Each structure stands twice: as C-alpha cells, then as structure tokens.
Amino acid sequence: MEAKYSKVELLALVKKHNKTSEHKIQNVDKMKKHELYDVCVIHSLVHTDEKGNKIMNLNNISKQILMQNVEIYFLKKKEQVPREVLNMKKKDLIDYITLNNIVYYTSEMIEDEIKQIEKENEKEKEEEYYKNIIIYNIIRYDNIDIKQINKSKEYVERNNLNTKLDNYQEYAKMLNDIYISFETFCKSTGTEYEKDELKTFPKILTKIRNVIE
C-alpha cells in the first residue's frame, strides 16, 4: 500500500492534517517515507487494508494521543488508569505501551470501538430492564416459574407480563420491611413458619392471614 503514495503526497496529507487538527504531528519534514506512511495509517489519512495495530514509530505521536490509547486499553478492562501511568513522561509511556502490547487505535478503530461499547451498553440496559420486570411480577403477583425462564425479553413478551415498573423500588423495600416485621413477630411469639426462598406479596399476605385469623 505504501508504494501507491509518493513521499510528497504523504507529506502533503500530514501537513493538511496539522492545519485542521489540534493534535499536531511533529517533525514531519524530517521523516522518511515509511515513517510518513505509518503516521498516515495511524491517523487514517490514507486508505489501507491494514488494521492499524502494527508496530509504529510512537515517537512521532503526541503524548496526549498515546494516553488516549492507554485509557482505551484500561477502559476495555473496566479498570482505572494507574496514577503512575498517568504521570509518566512520553518516553516511559511509549515503553509501557510496547511492553503491554497496547494496540494503537486509528480514528476509524476508535469509532468502531465506541459503537461496539455503546451497543453492548444498550444490550446490558435492555437485559436489566427485562430482569426487573420479571422480579417486579414475582414480588407483586408470584406468577412466575423461574425454572422456565430462558431469555428474559422473550419470556416477558411470551407471558404478557406487567411491564409498568411504577414504584418498583418502593414495592421491593415495603416487601422486605413486611418480611422483617413478620419474622420478628414470629420469633417474639414462638410462632413457627416456613421461610420463603422467593419473597412475594401473595406469600407473605397468606402467612399474615394464617397468623391473625
């Protein structure tokens, strides 16, 4: 791919990038052709079939952009960037990136990663939403056999469950408080009762009626 471009063309692409970008590529006039090409690949200034994660001359990249790649690396691990890494000088940061095989992301790769992360986050939110619907229906109506649940969304839609999560947290807290009060009463009075593996309003109301009637 490098042979498709002359050094003059590559240099022109880099200089055009420097005019519009706040992240300037330094020392471009001193670069050799292959170094210019690597920089163009990194910043997606040329079309290439390469994935962009080959070994690059990271000395030509600003510390700010290097740190962005380190942040992506830790973000994917769901970890915070260590303070000592944040305080590294550029030379030490390059050594750290090399030793840890941290992928250098082109702008296209970053966009793809962001889209993928957003997609995964949406999927997690959806899954949490349908799980909450199932829990809500369990505690209010005790109408679910959890052994029959395979995929939450499909189960909710197939069984036409109540999807209105109004006061969901308040219902859950009230149910927990009622169970605590009931268990305290039974211990104080010596009343025997079976503990419920799944706590629901129908179950505890039945227990209360059995005690007071």
The pLDDT tens digits of the residues spanning 68-123 come to: 889 888 988 889 999 999 999 999 998 898 888 887 777 777 778 778 888 888 98
In this structure, what is the dihedral angle of CA atoms 190, 191, 194, 199, given to the nearest 10 degrees?
A: -100
Across the range 159-181, mean pLDDT stands at 94
Tokens representing 88? 């590294």
pLDDT of residue 56: 57
pLDDT tens digit sequence for 182-213: 999 999 999 999 999 899 999 999 999 999 87
Q: Which residue has the higher pLDDT, 146 or 4?
A: 146
Contacts of 124 (CB under 8 A, 6+ apart): none
Phi/psi region, residue 166 (left: phi>0; alpha: psi -120 to 50; beta: rest), is beta
pLDDT of residue 50: 46
pLDDT of residue 207: 95
Range with top average pLDDT, 120-124, 158-162, 176-180: 176-180
User: Is the dihedral angle over the CA atoms 72, 77, 83, 89 positive or is it negative?
Assistant: negative
pLDDT tens digit sequence for 27-57: 888 888 888 888 887 777 775 544 444 445 6
Q: Which residue has the higher pLDDT, 158 or 50?
A: 158
Distance from C-alpha of 75 to C-alpha of 72, rounded to nearest angstrom: 5
Distance from C-alpha of 71 to C-alpha of 91, rounded to nearest angstrom: 17
Asked whether the beta carbons of 100 and 85 are under 8 A apart, the reply is: no
- Asked if residue 11 has pLDDT above 90, the reply is no
* Domain boundaries defined on the chain: 1-61, 63-105, 121-158, 168-212
Counting every residue written for the chain, the total comes to 213
Contacts of 153 (CB under 8 A, 6+ apart): 126, 127, 130
pLDDT of residue 128: 92
Sequential DSSP letters for 128-140: HHHHHHHHHHHHH
Contacts of 36 (CB under 8 A, 6+ apart): 7, 10, 11, 14, 28
pLDDT of residue 209: 94
CB hemisphere CA count around 74 (13 angstroms)? 14
- Collapsing DSSP to helix, strand or coil, 93 comes out as helix
